Amino acid sequence: MALAVVAGAALSGFFQQVFVKLDSQEIRNFIRGKKLTDGLLKKLRIKLMSVGAVYDDAEQKQLRNPHVRLWLHELKEAVLDAEDLLDEIKTEALRRKIEAEFVSSTSKIQDLISASFHAFDESVDSKIEEILERLSFIVEQKDALDLKRGSRHKISQTLLSTSLVEGSDVYGRDHEKETIIQLLLSNDVTCSKIGIIPIVGMGGIGKTTLAQLLYNDDRVKQHFELQAWVCVSDEFDVVKITQTIYASVTSQTCDTTDLHQLQVKLKDVLAGKKFLFVLDDVWNENYNIWDSLKRPFESGADGSKIIVTARNDGVASTMGTIQTHYLKHLLEEDCWFLFAKHASKDASGVVDPNLEVIGRQIVSKCKGLPLAAKSLGGLLRSEPNVEEWENMLKSDIWELSDAKIEILPALWLSYQYLSPVLKRCFAYCSIFPKDYEFDKFELILLWMAEDL
């Protein structure tokens, strides 16, 4: 299922390619004076726009509805055929241009060329009509599948974080916690007035949990006068973030959306005070946007700190002033303790001995990812049957629906964040077998050959 989902999602890139080719100079030259072909291509554009309008909704619903997944497959085949046809037209247009420049103009040759042109024009019209017929059928099905125009669910698929954490629910992070706490309590770790500490790691590895531990540590609370937690996610809205920080440090809401007024208010509140802010799940790599947000922070006291959690180095490079902390996978034993904590029905974390052997094998499949261990443990919490645990052990955890486990939505968000072109590049990598070592430059050449 996972590969089918990725392949369907990559379709957004194909739409983009088709529209680019429809607007190409070669296509415009070809249809000049051909009313039938011009009209058919305009209809093709309208049909593609019609299905494209509900594509976002279909991309989400395919996770739970196999009929939508099949609909996306049929749509992809039709779009690919349309792209292939446009490539044929572009090639023919270039061929005609070359022939017009270099072929002699005898009447016999001109007759042959004219007959060839006419045959190709007729075949093109026929092929466009065939694709339009297929697209019309696909468009009709969107209502039956309850696909909505312009639906987006990117943010709703992830739980927004808060600063609250259950300390007994965390394993294997003592060393990282103590290392960063020493940085938080120190006043001379950086030449900058405000120390910004990036915590970087893949989705589900526990960045937010570690930040929560740091934020709630008693030593940290006593050290800083003001604290604020902001779940940023993929929408780096300077106004909203500033409003959240202001509300946290003053316990008063500020409804104004005027950034100048907001920042003046926040600057006055922070003046001369040592603060700790956590910006959780940051995706923004635009320095100008970050620079706009941080301006009122400069009024705070020396030794103020900001913790930033992110999935990539770009964010750390943009925002960080202190060495980046890369969060590693948990040791398998720590991963087991976390799994057992959520698989056990009581607070003891003790798993039935008949299930522990299977459970430890399941944990080994989690590859040290805390979110995987926690999710699978919670899923098996109400399953005392050995057979169910064995079924889990033999199944592919990445195939589980998002309704049962958070791992797929977590990865899905990362995939959704890619641009349409990068989605196609990512999907292309599925042709390589598992653990295949591919050469980066060779892969780039393969992408180029696919016009990516």
- Assigned fold of 157-326: Rossmann fold (3.40.50)
Is residue 264 pLDDT above 90, yes or no? Answer: yes
* H-helix segments, 324-417: 332-343, 353-365, 370-380, 386-394, 407-416
The 10 Å Cβ neighbour count of residue 116 is 14
The candidate with the shortest Cα–Cα distance to 342, out of 375, 307, 301, 300, is 375
- Rounded to an integer, what distance in angstroms lies between the CA atom of residue 88 and that of residue 120? 10
The 10 Å Cβ neighbour count of residue 295 is 14
Task: Provide the pLDDT for residue 214.
Answer: 95
What tens digit of pLDDT does each residue of 142-164 get? Answer: 878 877 775 444 434 455 667 77
Domain boundaries, the chain: 2-144, 157-326, 332-409
The candidate with the shortest Cα–Cα distance to 319, out of 296, 298, 353, 288, is 288
Mean pLDDT of 285-303: 93
- % of the chain at pLDDT higher than 70: 81
Is residue 409 pLDDT above 80, yes or no? Answer: no
Sequence-distant (6+) residues with CB within 8 A of 101 are none
**Residue 369, Cβ density class (10 Å: 0-12 exposed, 13-18 middle, ≥19 buried):** buried
Tokens, residue 309: 């959690």
Mean pLDDT of 105-121: 58
Nearest-Å Rg of the Cα atoms of the chain is 28
Strand, coil or helix: 305? strand
More confident residue, 57 or 311: 311
- pLDDT tier at 51, thresholds 50, 70, 90: confident
Task: Provide the pLDDT for residue 168.
Answer: 63
- DSSP assignment of 147-190 equals PPTT---TGGGSPPP-S---GGG--S-HHHHHHHHHHHH-S-S-
Mean pLDDT of 296-306: 93
* The amino acid at 50: S
Q: What is the pTM of this model?
A: 0.60
Range of weakest confidence among 123-127, 168-172, 179-183, 344-348: 344-348
Question: What's the whole-number average pLDDT of the chain?
Answer: 80
What tens digit of pLDDT does each residue of 53-72 get? Answer: 777 777 767 766 788 888 88
What tens digit of pLDDT does each residue of 174-187 get? Answer: 999 999 999 999 87
Task: Provide the pLDDT for residue 398.
Answer: 45
Q: Please name the helix (run of DSSP H) or strand (run of DSSP E) that holds residue 112, with its range, or none.
A: helix 107-144
Mean pLDDT of 5-31: 69
Residue with tokens 């919490």: 381
- pLDDT tier at 3, thresholds 50, 70, 90: very low
Residue with tokens 């990036």: 198
Cα 190-193-196 angle, rounded to 5 deg: 60
Task: Provide the pLDDT for residue 142.
Answer: 80
Partners of 282 in beta bridges: 233, 310
Is residue 258 pLDDT above 50, yes or no? Answer: yes
Task: Provide the pLDDT for residue 11.
Answer: 59
What tens digit of pLDDT does each residue of 217-257 get? Answer: 999 999 999 999 999 987 889 999 999 999 999 998 888 88
Contact 296, 194 (CB under 8 A): no
- Rounded to an integer, what distance in angstroms lies between the CA atom of residue 131 and that of residue 44? 8
* The amino acid at 252: Q
Is residue 400 pLDDT above 70, yes or no? Answer: no
